[in-house]
Amino acid sequence: MQEYTRRLPRLATSPMPAISAVSGAWEFIFSNASAAGWLVAFLPLLDLVVGQAQAKWLLQADPLSLSQAYHGAAMLVLAMVLISKLRWLAVSARGLLPAVVCLGASLLVTVVCILAEGDLTLETIVAVGQVIYWLILFLAVLSLASSKADRFLVLGGIVVAGLYASVCVIYIYFTAGQDASIYEKLIGNAAGFATAKGLTGVLATAGLVGLWMFRTRNRPLGAAILLVCIVGMLLTYQRAGLVGFVVAVVWLAWWGLRNRSRSETSWAMFGAALLVAAALALLALVGTGGLEQKWADMGDLEKAGSGRAAFWQVALTHYGQMDPLSKVSGIGYTRTAESLERRYGARIHTHSDFLDFLLMYGALGFVGYVAFHACVVRFVLRLNKSSSALAAGLAIYIVMLSQAFFTGQALAPSVMSCYLGAIACICATPDQQPVQRAGMETEGR
C-alpha cells in the first residue's frame, strides 16, 4: 500500500493519465481485493453474457432455463459469501437488516399459504428466488464494502458490464438495423437480450458510477464511460430507464448548484451538460422519428406506456376481488400472470414492482417492499448533504425507482444487482474525505 501511495504523484503527472489511472487501480486491487470481491465484481458482466446466451439459444437446464439455473447457483455462492463476511457489515448498514429480513419473511408467507392450498408452481418459486437473490447480494456487497479495494472492484465490475452492454447495443444498431430491432416500425435493439426493459437500468447505473469514480481526476475517462452508456440508452428507446436517468441527472445538477464548492460539485454539472450534448448529437445523427413514434401512445389512456395504464387497472381490479387471505398473503406469480391473461389477453406481470408485490405477495409483501425502499433512501440520506456519495447514490436510486414503478425490475436480478451493488459501494461507509486512488475515488475511511 505504501509503495502504491508513493506512486500517486508520478501517476498524476503522467502524459497518459487515463492509462496510468487504470494501471494504478489494478495494482491496488490485486494487492488488496478479496476473492469474494472478485467474484461479486464479475457477476454483472456474467449476468449479461448468460442473458444473451439464453435469449439466443433458449438453453434449458430442465426444469429451469439456463438463466434461472445460473442465478440459483450464484445465489448459493453469494449466501456463502454473506455468511463469511456478515461480521464485517458496517454499523451504518445494519439498519437495513430488519427491512431485508421482513421482506424475505413476507415472501415465505406467500409460499407457505400457496403451498397449503396445493397450488405452488415452479414459476412462483422462481419469482420468489429472484427477489431473494438480490436481497442476499445486497447484504453481501454491504459486507464487502468495508474494504476499499473490494468496494472499488465491485463498482468497476458494474462499469465494465455497462460498457459491454452499450457497445452491443451500438454495434447491433448500426450493423443489423431493423433486422435486429425489438420494435416493428423503428430501429432499437436489446443488445441480444429478450427484452431491453432492464438494460437501460444497467446502462444508467454504469454511466453514473463511471462519472462519480472519475469525478475529480481523469474526468475525460469518466466522461467517455458516461457518453458510451448514454448512447446505448438512447438507442434502446426504453422510456422508463431514460426518464429515470434524466431525472437523476437533473437531481445531480440541482445538487451541484445548491452546494457552494464548485470544485467539488462541477462533476455533476459536467454530467448534465454531457447528457444534453450527447442527446442532441445523437438525435441529429439518427433523427427524432423513433422517439416521436415511441411516445405517440401517451395520448391514449388505453395504450399509454405500451398498455401499462390498461393492465395496471386490470391488476388493481383483480386485487379488489381477491379473498381476504389472498389480499394479505398474495397469490404468487402464476396466478397473477393467469389473471392478466384472462383480463388483458397477455400472460405477463403487471410491469410495476409495487403492483407485482401487491398481487403476488399481498399486503405483507407490498408493505415489506415499500419499507425496503424507505430504508435504502434512509441509508443514502444519512450522508452529509454536500457529499458526492449522497448525490451519486440518490441519483442511482432515482433510476431504480423509475424502473420499479414504470416497468418492474424486481424479477430481473441482474438489474437489481447493479442498482443495489452500486448504492452499497458508494454509500456504505461514513462520509469522510475522499480517498484518491490514481484518479478514481471512493468515499470512506
* Mean pLDDT for the stretch of residues 55-75: 88
Q: What pLDDT is stored for residue 343 in this prediction?
A: 79
Task: Band the pLDDT of 16: cuts 50, 70, 90.
Answer: low
Least confident range from 163-172, 284-293, 374-383, 387-396: namely: 284-293
Percent of the chain at pLDDT above 70?
A: 83
For 334-384, what is each residue's pLDDT tens digit? 999 998 888 777 788 888 999 999 999 999 999 999 999 999 999 999 998
Task: Band the pLDDT of 6: cuts 50, 70, 90.
Answer: very low
- Length of the chain, in residues: 445
Among 11-15, 402-406, 437-441, top mean pLDDT goes to 402-406
Task: Band the pLDDT of 228: cuts 50, 70, 90.
Answer: very high
Q: What pLDDT is stored for residue 8 in this prediction?
A: 39
Per-residue 3-state assignment (H helix, E strand, C coil) for the chain? CHHHHHCHHHHHCCCCHHHHHHHHHHHHHHHHCCHHHHHHHHHHHHHHHHHHHHHHHCCEECCEEHHHHHHHHHHHHHHHHHHHHHHHCCHHHHHHHHHHHHHHHHHHHHHHHHHHCCCCCHHHHHHHHHHHHHHHHHHHHHHHCCCHHHHHHHHHHHHHHHHHHHHHHHHHHHHCHHHHCCCCCCCCCCCCCCCCCCHHHHHHHHHHHHHHHCCCCCHHHHHHHHHHHHHHHHHHCCHHHHHHHHHHHHHHHHHHHHCCCHHHHHHHHHHHHHHHHHHHHHHHHHCCHHHHHHCHHHHCCCCHHHHHHHHHHHHHHHHHHCCHHHHHHCCHHHHHHHHHHHHHCCCCCCCCHHHHHHHHHHHHHHHHHHHHHHHHHHHHHCCCCCCHHHHHHHHHHHHHHHHHHHCCCCCCHHHHHHHHHHHHHHHCCCCCCEEEECCEEEECC
For 188-211, what is each residue's pLDDT tens digit? 778 888 788 889 999 999 999 999
pLDDT score of 438 more than 70: no
Q: What pLDDT is stored for residue 423 in this prediction?
A: 97
Instruction: Quote the CA–CA distance of 265 and 252 in Å, as a whole number.
Output: 9
Q: What pLDDT is stored for residue 441 in this prediction?
A: 47
Q: Which of 82, 183, 176 is nearest to 136 (CA)?
A: 82
On whether the CB atoms of residues 206 and 161 are closer than 8 A, the answer is yes
**Dihedral sign (CA 68, 70, 71, 75):** positive
pTM: 0.88
Q: What pLDDT is stored for residue 21 in this prediction?
A: 56
Instruction: Quote the CA–CA distance of 427 and 418 in Å, as a whole number.
Output: 14
Task: Band the pLDDT of 58: cuts 50, 70, 90.
Answer: confident
pLDDT score of 225 more than 90: yes
For 239-266, what is each residue's pLDDT tens digit? 888 899 999 999 999 998 888 666 678 8
Task: Band the pLDDT of 185: cuts 50, 70, 90.
Answer: low
- Which residues lie closer than 8 Å to 5 by C-beta, 6 or more apart? none
Q: What cell was used for 8? A: 500517486
- The full set of domain ranges for the chain reads 36-87+96-443
For 88-140, what is each residue's pLDDT tens digit? 887 788 889 999 999 999 999 999 999 999 999 999 999 999 999 999 999 99
Q: What pLDDT is stored for residue 170 in this prediction?
A: 92
Q: Compare 389 and 21 and report the one with higher pLDDT.
A: 389
Q: Which of 265, 163, 262, 255 is nearest to 210 (CA)?
A: 163
Is residue 152 exposed (0-12), middle (13-18) or buried (19+ Cβ within 10 Å)? buried
pLDDT score of 145 more than 50: yes
- Which residues lie closer than 8 Å to 395 by C-beta, 6 or more apart? 208, 248, 249, 251, 252
Is residue 112 exposed (0-12), middle (13-18) or buried (19+ Cβ within 10 Å)? exposed
Q: Which of 397, 380, 372 is nearest to 443 (CA)?
A: 380
Q: What pLDDT is stored for residue 365 in this prediction?
A: 97
Q: What pLDDT is stored for residue 325 in this prediction?
A: 95
Q: What cell was used for 46? A: 456474467
Instruction: Quote the CA–CA distance of 397 and 395 in Å, as a whole number.
Output: 5
Q: What is the mean pLDDT of the chain?
A: 84
Q: Which of 318, 327, 309, 361 is nearest to 130 (CA)?
A: 361
